[in-house]
Amino acid sequence: MTQFHVLAEAFTPHDDLAAILLPHAFAADDGSHDAAHLMRVWKNATRIQAEEGGDTRQLAAAVLLHDCVSVEKNSPLRAGASRLAAEKAWQVLDALGWRTLEISAVAHAILTHSFSANIEPETLEAKILQDADRLDAIGMVGAARCFYIAGRMGSGLYDPLDPLAEARPLDDKAFAIDHFETKLFRLADGFQTAAGRRLALERQARLRNVLAMFLDEI
C-alpha cells in the first residue's frame, strides 16, 4: 500500500478518488499547503456539508486539487494561483473521464476559493470549499501557518519598536503578526455558509487570544 493510499483513507467515502488525485494534489515542500492541510480542509468541508448539503464527490475533488499548483505567497503570480490550479484540475479530471459538467463545477470551486483571486463562488460546493479553506487560515492552525509562512518568506515575528503598528503602516511582508490585522481577522466577515460563519467566529476568537497572549509575552 502506497503513502497516498494511506492518506486517502482520511477522505472516506471518497478514498478511492483521493488515492488517484493525491499524487497531483500538493507541493511536497510547503508545510502550509501539504497533505495535512488537505485533510483539515476536507474535515472542515464535511462538517459544513453535513449541515448545508452539496455533492460530496465534487467537493472531495475540489478539496484535493484546490492547491494543485504551488505559487509562493510573495510571487507576482499569486493572484492567479487558483486559476492555474483550476486549469490543472480540469486536465486531471478530464483524463479520468469525468463529465464536462462535473469538471466545470469542480474547476469553478477551485477558481473561486482563493482570497487573492477575489471571485465570488456561485455554487454550494464552491461556497463550502471557500469556507473550509479559510477556516484553516484562522484559529490555532491559522496562527501556526502564519508564523510558518513568515519563516519561509524571511519575515520577522514583529517590529520590536512598534509591534502594534501604532506609528507605522502595517507590513505583513516584514512582520508576521501584522498579517493578523491585514488579512486573518478580515476573513471571518466573508464566510459564505451559515455553518461556516459559526465555525469562523469560534476560530477567530481563538486567533485573537493567540495574538493577545503573544503580545503579553513580548
All structural domains of the chain:
1-132 (1.10.3210.50), 137-218 (1.20.58.1910)
Q: Give the whole-number percent of the chain exceeding pLDDT 90.
A: 78
Task: With beta carbons less than 8 A apart as the criterion, state whether 37 and 27 touch.
Answer: no
Q: What is the pLDDT of residues 136-176, one digit of tens each?
A: 999 999 999 999 999 988 999 999 999 999 999 999 999 99
Interval 12-70: pLDDT, tens: 999 999 999 999 997 667 877 889 999 999 999 999 999 999 999 999 999 999 998 87
Give the contacts of 66 (CB within 8 A, at least 6 positions apart).
41, 82, 85, 89, 109, 110, 113, 129, 133
Closest CA to 192 of 81, 74, 45: 45
Q: Quick check: 18 and 11 in contact, CB under 8 A?
A: yes
Tell how far CA 133 is from the center of its chain.
3
Residue 121: its pLDDT value, please?
94
